[in-house]
Amino acid sequence: MKSASRCWVPSVLLLAAGTLSAQQTPDYHRAEQFLNWNSSLMVSGDVVTPVWLEDGNRFWYRNKTNAGTEFLLVDPVANTQRPAFDHARLASAMSVAKDTAYEPHKLPFATFGFAKGSNGVIEFNASRRRWSCDIQQYVCTHADTLRNVNRYVGSPDSTMEAFASGHNIWVRQKGSSDSTQLTTDGELYWSYGVTAPRPSQLQNLREGASPRLPRANLRWSPDSRRIAVYRTDERNVAHMHYISYTPQRPRHFSQPYALPGDSIVPRPNLHIIDVATKKNVALKIEPVPTQLQLGGSPLDSLWSADSRHIHFSFLTRGSKGIYLAEGDAETGAVRILAADSAKTWVETNPQGRPSWLVTKDDAQAIWWSERDGWAHLYRYRINPPSAMLAKASTNDGAAASTGDAVVVNQITSGAWAVGDVLHVDQDRGIIYFTARGREPGLWYNARLYRVNYDGSGLTLLTPEDANHNVRFSPSGRFIVDTYSTFEQPPITVLRSPADGRVIRKLQEADISRLNAIGWKPGQVFTVKARDGVTDIHGVMWLPSNLDPHRKYPIIEYIYPGPQVGSVGQWAWQTGGEHRAMAELGFIVVQLDHLGTPLRSKAFHDNYYGNFIDNGLPDHIVALKQLAAQNPFMDLDRVGIWGHSGGGFASTDAILRYPEFYKVAVSGAGNHDNRSYNIYWAEKYQGLMKKDTVRGSDNFASSANKTYAKNLKGKLLLMHGDMDDNVHPAMTIQLVDELIKANRDFDLLIAPNRNHGLNEPYFIRRRWDYFVRHLMGAEPPKDYEIAPAPRNSGSPGAAGPDDCMFYDEVLGICIG
């Protein structure tokens, strides 16, 4: 009996455990429905990207519908909205021309243009062909090959086009096959207008094939006589090396890649080329720039109206200084118009749009700056350039003069932050810009304002308590505004910039199909930061079938910034993998901690010079506050994941806070920023300072491998072996230290993958890891997530016309 009893009891326990496991097995199929490439197809009317026509007022946009897509044409002056063409007749005409069936609401192109001088003929790329279709007679023709029309930059007078070839700049009469070479000294890693393809772009090419040449980074002068072209010298910069291991004979690639502490780094510059004489003038810029912006201001005031000067901004090493400069097109002499410096770093507007402008009379400049602790606008008066010209004649223009512009007034001020300058009405002296934090409600909601040059007349133009994505017409007469919150799907309206009045509603997102499968939006929350005083904000994704009486494991998604936060865009979204993971049975949390942008300079500077902080103290106190408010959150089962900077931060979390974080999945982490590029690493950690006595430096304490011996929980590291952004060496170096410390971990190397690892296989492995080690359940074996449909009908789907590098033979987008 004793023997039988000993055999019988374990069998009951095993049966019970098996039953429990079966009940806990998460529903991967349900979760998969919420991945972005699936959930986005269940939403219509949520994306409006206006493409403006030559008159500067009318535009078309590609709209998602329940059936697929449609192209709509809007005339704001007449206040009309209609289909841009007859979709059924166009599909029929295309089908006849290519003897292939095309569907009206699944047309195989995402963008088109009207043929010059015609409103009745459209041109586009589709099916690896260049098409021309008469939308009055509905007759289509197509070329046998796909011409790279984006490669050529047309002159303002429409007579010439410039392009890059063989490291040099060429011009030709528009449409001609005869070209004239303007520069002759271009070479590999010191080319005019382009840079060498990256290893990941070359890797996918057929053996011996060349990447399709991109559009050169150049700008014509208004009088079509000169060209300003970007050129950066990378010739002596040390290379990073990569091996593609899948061929029978592994292939080697490399690229110039400057690291913190390197003495030789890329040197950017601008050249002014006279088209008629081929005279080539390199600007004489001081101090020496490490990053340089060719134009990009709201009205693109790169060139002065008289074509005598160019305006540009640049950063010095470590982003310690930022400058607005003016260069003389004839002599190359440069003078500084405005500048900022900081002990930490100077920001260039975290949203990426350079918010500076030189007025068309060359008399004033608008400058975005955080000099008073908040992002605001300043007006400068620009002195005449006679002093610079005199210097050029006596000193060859070798040094930049100073004091050539003075501050007239601070245009905006207060404890709130200006974002993008979107439009400037120079005739009336009015600036239109976005800002955050000035109105009640969520701090991160961007709204549109107008203000006079002298700072008077500050007016809110978008009163809705939501995040506004605003696009101005080239004429400045109309605004397309898409606004949303996490709870409110996007609404797109046409507004007047005079008072913000809504002229007409263009689209309102329909999420009924998403709601029908049980989708729930993310919940915005506010908690206190580590200091117990500062409010910080985040988003929490709960299972749609949440049982408040159960305990749920927690997964944090982290991207530490500092250039962006974990939430990313504070606007409506389906949630993608965050919603999917919640459907697996997790509480998923995103948090924008101290040290992320869009608030004050002090908030952003929080862990400057101490990368290893990663905002994690804020995450821990935030989860404790949330768990106190929501008893269904299980603080004994906390996991964390992230990619790139998030891969660095998630590994940091499990190594330095092993009692709190139990499981981490880290993709492509920059685990030791001594091996990451100077532009990011030196900006936020500072210039490298070596301690020769200790044999260390100021980056060492922020490297994850320093803390390898602390690992207690479960860690999965993933990295692509052809990652030419975050080199896989950083993960391998961490692995080396984990082995030396005798720690168990899991490693997944992704062959021939670049930086992104958002493929179904890697998503599934991430889910499996958390389900098994954090939830304590067994995932479905070898579950296969279906990839994104190639022709999903979603606006923005990549095609030949959307690629910088495109292999026409293989049909591969590689850039």
Which tokens belong to 25? 């097995």
Q: 596 pLDDT exceeds 70?
A: yes
Is 182 domain-assigned? yes
> Are both 571 and 525 inside the same structural domain?
yes
> Are both 674 and 766 inside the same structural domain?
yes
DSSP string, 164-201: EETTEEEEEETT-S-EEE-----BTTB-BS--PPPHHH
Residue 117 has a pLDDT of 77
Domain count within the chain: 5
> Are both 251 and 320 inside the same structural domain?
no
> Are both 446 and 565 inside the same structural domain?
no
Residue 4 has a pLDDT of 37
* Angstrom distance (rounded) from CA 313 to CA 217: 15
Contact 293, 285 (CB under 8 A): no
Q: 397 pLDDT exceeds 50?
A: no
> Are both 313 and 388 inside the same structural domain?
yes
* Angstrom distance (rounded) from CA 51 to CA 57: 10
Answer with the residue of higher pLDDT: 727 or 404: 727
148 — pLDDT class (breaks 50, 70, 90): low
| CA neighbor of 607 nearest in space, from 530, 688, 675 | 530
> Are both 54 and 189 inside the same structural domain?
no
| CA neighbor of 469 nearest in space, from 422, 524, 405, 537 | 422
Residue pLDDT, tens place only, 351-378: 767 778 999 999 999 999 999 999 999 9
* Angstrom distance (rounded) from CA 39 to CA 186: 47
> Among 211-220, 411-420, 478-487, 708-717, whose mean pLDDT is lowest?
211-220
Last residue of a domain, one of 510, 533, 567: 510
Count CB-CB contacts under 10 A for residue 368.
Answer: 28
DSSP string, 549-600: TS-EEEEEE----SSS-SS-S-S----THHHHHHHHT-EEEEEE-TT-SSS-
Residue pLDDT, tens place only, 157-201: 999 999 999 999 999 998 888 999 999 999 999 999 999 999 988
Last residue of a domain, one of 275, 300, 333: 275
Residue 207 has a pLDDT of 58
The CATH number of the domain where 475 resides is what? Answer: 2.120.10.30
Question: Span 388-399, mean pLDDT?
Answer: 40
Kind and range of the H or E element at 81?
strand 80-83
Is 8 domain-assigned? no
* Angstrom distance (rounded) from CA 567 to CA 732: 29
Which tokens belong to 85? 């063409």
> Are both 424 and 572 inside the same structural domain?
no
Q: 217 pLDDT exceeds 60?
A: yes
> Are both 344 and 457 inside the same structural domain?
no
> Are both 487 and 541 inside the same structural domain?
no
Q: Which domain holds residue 59?
A: 44-146+800-813
Is 107 domain-assigned? yes
> Are both 226 and 317 inside the same structural domain?
no
Is 789 domain-assigned? no
The CATH number of the domain where 565 resides is what? Answer: 3.40.50.1820
Contact 809, 206 (CB under 8 A): yes
Answer with the residue of higher pLDDT: 517 or 693: 517
Last residue of a domain, one of 387, 406, 425: 406
Residue pLDDT, tens place only, 398-415: 333 345 899 999 999 999
Is 290 domain-assigned? yes
> Among 166-180, 599-613, 781-795, whose mean pLDDT is lowest?
781-795
DSSP state of 413: -
Residue pLDDT, tens place only, 276-296: 999 999 999 999 999 998 766
Residue pLDDT, tens place only, 701-725: 999 999 999 999 999 999 999 999 9
Is 30 domain-assigned? yes
pTM (two decimals): 0.91
Residue 257 has a pLDDT of 98
Residue 393 has a pLDDT of 41
> Are both 113 and 162 inside the same structural domain?
no
151 — pLDDT class (breaks 50, 70, 90): confident
> Are both 735 and 631 inside the same structural domain?
yes
Is 795 domain-assigned? no
Average predicted confidence (pLDDT) for the chain = 90
Q: 805 pLDDT exceeds 80?
A: no
Is 784 domain-assigned? no
